[in-house]
Structure 1
Amino acid sequence: MKKAVAEILAYIALWVMFSSLAYAYDPSPLQDFCVAVNDSNSVVFVNGKFCQDPKMATANDFFFPGLNVPGNTSNKLGFMVTQVTVNQIGGLNTLGISLARLDFAPYGLNPPHTHPRGTEILTVMEGSLFVGFVTSNPDNRLISKVLCQGDVFVFPIGLIHFQQNVGNTPAVAISGLSSQNPGVITIANAVFGSKPPISVDVLTKAFQVDNNTVSYLQAQF
């Protein structure tokens, strides 16, 4: 009986340990802050960044100006993102959050993409957006909704999602992300614009189209 109880406790301990590892994306800070600097002579290296001496920190290490400035949407997609990650605010290092401003021209599109290291929560500030994400295999279910000013929507970490302006006026949204550097993988760019290119044979079989179609799509990226 004691052996059985011990085995159960051991399994529980292992489950807790591996569960904790699975959900530990950005490390928890062990000090007030760890301002990232581009100085390899710094003594502390945390979460991919060198840390400045905390005594040297100033207000500017935690500051980003200009999120009120519209992004330039004069491109093929009619979309521009202004990121506020650890690369823009060094003081975000180890804090596990970031921000972005999304600007859409009329009918502009933020194409299907994923954030491999962060969940996104989006608030529409102006206009209206059609948004959605796709659940993982095998269901691949589309969960979508049209959002208006003041509406909020969540995109779970790692899932493919998109936003499209469905109005004839510009739209603006603000996104918060649960990582200091959530990353982004734009699906079309990654699949058809990889360097070196993915084999045409692989893509024709994966997408069930002919070689000419794949070659045309690769040429676009």
Structure 2
Amino acid sequence: MRYMTPIPLAEELLLLAYDDQTGKATGSRIGLDLGMAAAVLIDLALANRIAYAADGHLVVTDATPLGDPVADAVLGKVATEEPHTPAQWLQRLRHRLRTRVLEDLCSRGVVRDVDETQLGVIHVHRYPTSDPAYEAEIRGRLATALVGNSLPDERTAALATLLVAARMEPALKLPEEEVERAHERLAEIASNAGFVGDVTLEDSIVRPSVALVVATLGKAIQAALGAPKPI
């Protein structure tokens, strides 16, 4: 596999959620949109651009652009608009975010936009994969995290936590006999990273500033989605 330049976490979530062949989103649409909004904020935290403040708001610590149009637009919003909590930012950012991310992926040839007309008037867009290398790298990274004994890096730990919070575990496309163990491992990664559970920030595998942002956003996603339906 060729070396892959890291792509934003929001793009990683979207590629996992969309079926490669049909180009249609799978799973919870609201979960994906909330997860992607959280992913953009987490990428800014990973880059030391934003932090979780003592008053419960997300604040900008460095306004220097990253060079990614979506992340930089969000950074500008956090810097210039009135303060908001993580939960408020998720709701403010999730609208049309998916469209922006899909446009960027199309422009780089990762997915393609298939515009179909149904009933002669309704336009339906599908986004099948054009370049599978990016998604293969993501799935490979997650597979290593799920079967290994060592804790993953910050980005992969954050991605695993978002998958759990946004209820996107089916996007992993695991055999039925592996689902329960994968869920346990994902929860373990999140807990040991200091994102959930009783792990102290001092014991986290990630920087405390990042762990705080991920933890608060994860809880906000879960609160927005409400209690899961009983099986």
TM-score class, shorter: under 0.3
What is the TM-score of this pair, normalised by structure 2? 0.22
Looking at secondary structure, tell me which structure has more helix per residue.
Answer: 2
Greater relative contact order (Cα < 8 A, sep 6+) = 2
Q: Which has the larger radius of gyration?
A: 1
